[in-house]
């Protein structure tokens, strides 16, 4: 069974920080179509603060995820700060103490992500939120485990479910958040939260696969 170490895994958060920094403008642009237009600005602010923190105090994947969680929860505000903060806190909590991360540990960490964010949000798939990406992605990973797929296979399944989840928001009308005031006008536009969540989960899968192929 293939695994990578928790210390090697720290690069996953490094890559997630990069992907948010690179997509700052894109995320704000799509948010501008149906929201405040600040999603990229806020995400970049939090992830960049985490970069500075990790440069000073590096550690393993659980440590990096916990540092990111703390910054998002305490410093970012709005709705996305606490939501993504909780997501990373749940992820970090499950990974903490594991020397190595394999299929089972990652499955638990992904479920921890979902359970943690669900403790403060009632959003469900279909509401046009980041849950449209996260819920099917986590389910796909669990399904892959039960079908006996290996770690790489499960990561690939998760990635493709995240993408179709994100794309599904394009034809939805928002049920929650600021975009709900737009009614039908929100149709035809990707949800910014579902989009950033997809970027992050894709980065998680791609980076983990690279680690496993080393």
Give the 3-state secondary structure of residue 80.
helix
| 74 near another protein (CB under 8 A) | yes
Contact by Cβ (8 Å): 187, 143: no
User: Which residue in 120, 124, 147, 171 binds another protein (CB under 8 A)?
Assistant: 120
193 binds another protein (CB under 8 A): no
Between 36 and 167, name the residue whose CB sits nearer to another protein.
36
Cβ pair 182, 174 in contact under 8 A: yes
Residue 49 sits in the site that holds another protein (CB under 8 A): no
4 CB burial (10 A radius; 0-12, 13-18, 19+): buried
Binding of residue 78 to another protein (CB under 8 A): yes
Taking CB under 8 A as the criterion, the residue among 18, 22, 25, 75 binding another protein is 75
Is 118 one of the binding residues for another protein (CB under 8 A)? no
Using rule CB under 8 A, residue 188 touches another protein: no
# chain residues binding another protein, by CB under 8 A: 27
Q: Say if CB 13 and CB 64 are below 8 A apart.
A: yes
CB of residue 3 to another protein, shortest distance in Å: 33
- The answer to the question of residue 104 lying near another protein (CB under 8 A) is no
Token duo for residue 69: 């969680």
Q: Are 96 and 7 in contact (CB under 8 A)?
A: no
∠ CA(45), CA(130), CA(90), 5° rounding?
Answer: 75
| CA geometry: angle 159, 162, 166, nearest 5 deg | 145
Q: In this chain, which stretch among 16-24, 36-44, 55-63, 204-212 interacts with another protein, using CB under 8 A?
A: 36-44
- For helices 80-95 and 39-56, the axis angle rounded to 10 degrees is 40
Work out which of 32, 59, 102, 153 binds another protein, going by CB under 8 A: 32
For residues 46 and 54, give the distance between their C-alpha atoms in angstroms, rounded to a whole number.
Answer: 12
Nearest to 113 by CA among 93, 96, 98: 93
Q: Is 76 in the site for another protein (CB under 8 A)?
A: yes
- Smaller CB separation from another protein, 32 or 59: 32
Q: Is 124 in the site for another protein (CB under 8 A)?
A: no
Q: Which is nearer to another protein, 107 or 193 (CB)?
A: 193
Q: Which residues bind another protein (CB under 8 A)?
A: 32, 35-38, 41-42, 73-79, 81-83, 85, 120-121, 176-178, 180-183
């Amino acid at each position: 069974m293939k695994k990578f170490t928790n210390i090697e895994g720290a690069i996953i958060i490094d890559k997630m920080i990069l992907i948010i920094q690179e997509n700052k403008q894109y995320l704000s642009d799509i948010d501008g179509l149906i929201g405040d237009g600040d999603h990229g600005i806020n995400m970049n602010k939090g992830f960049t603060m985490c970069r500075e923190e990790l440069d000073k105090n590096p550690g393993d994947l659980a440590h990096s995820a916990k540092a990111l969680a703390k910054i998002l929860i305490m410093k970012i505000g709005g709705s996305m700060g606490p939501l993504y903060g909780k997501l990373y806190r749940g992820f970090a909590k499950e990974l903490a103490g594991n020397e190595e991360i394999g299929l089972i540990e990652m499955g638990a960490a992904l479920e921890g992500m979902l359970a943690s964010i669900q403790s403060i949000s009632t959003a469900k798939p279909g509401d046009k939120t980041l849950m449209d990406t996260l819920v099917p992605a986590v389910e796909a990973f669990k399904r892959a485990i039960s079908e006996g797929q290996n770690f790489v296979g499960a990561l690939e399944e998760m990635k493709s479910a995240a993408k179709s989840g994100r794309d599904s928001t394009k034809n939805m009308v928002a049920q929650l958040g600021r975009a709900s005031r737009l009614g039908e006008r929100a149709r035809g536009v990707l949800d910014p939260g579902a989009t950033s969540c997809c970027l992050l989960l894709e980065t998680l899968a791609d980076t983990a696969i690279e680690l496993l192929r080393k």
